[in-house]
Amino acid sequence: MSPAAGPDGPRRTGGPPEPAGRGGPGPTHPRPHLPLRPLWLCRVCAAPWPCGAARLTLVSEYAHDRVALNIYLCTVLHDAAADLYRLYPDTGPDPAALFARFLAWVPRTRPPAEP
């Protein structure tokens, strides 16, 4: 697991600002786009995780270590498959759909090096 990962997925992911507390105006903090397990939906936008915001954040966090990003995503794909098969034992998730959702979106090329 990467330093940015916890038991429920990556810890540092961006998102829309969270409303200030009920006590009145105050600083806002971005809500992280983390997975809601065992459903594997985003806790912020309810899209299948990793949602667009989580993907952007993951690519940014792992910009200099694409291999680590792929290893991390393989790990969460394994966890998601186990959770979803437990929830839906008769139908289960489609393996090709899980691959597309968790791994196929990762850019395959490295960004150009800065001079």
DSSP string, the chain: --TTEETTEES----SEEPPPTTSS---EEPP--EETTTTEETTT-SBSS-HHHHHHHHHHTTT-HHHHHHHHHHHHHHHHHHHHHH-TTT---HHHHHIIIIITS-SSPPPPP-
For 46-64, b/e burial (b = at least 16 CB within 10 A) is eeebbbebbbebbeebbee
Indicate the pLDDT class of residue 30, thresholds 50, 70 and 90.
Answer: confident
- Which residue would you say has higher pLDDT here, 15 or 66? 66
Q: What is the pLDDT of residue 96?
A: 97
Compute CA 1 distance to the chain's CA centroid, rounded to the nearest angstrom.
Answer: 13
**pTM recorded for the entire structure:** 0.69
Q: What is the pLDDT of residue 15?
A: 46
Q: What is the pLDDT of residue 64?
A: 94
38 vs 11: CA distance, rounded Å: 17
Q: What is the pLDDT of residue 22?
A: 52
pLDDT at 28 over 80: no
Neighbours of 35 (CB within 10 A): 23
Average pLDDT, the chain: 83
Q: What is the pLDDT of residue 3?
A: 47
* Contact status, residue 102 vs residue 50, Cβ threshold 8 Å: yes
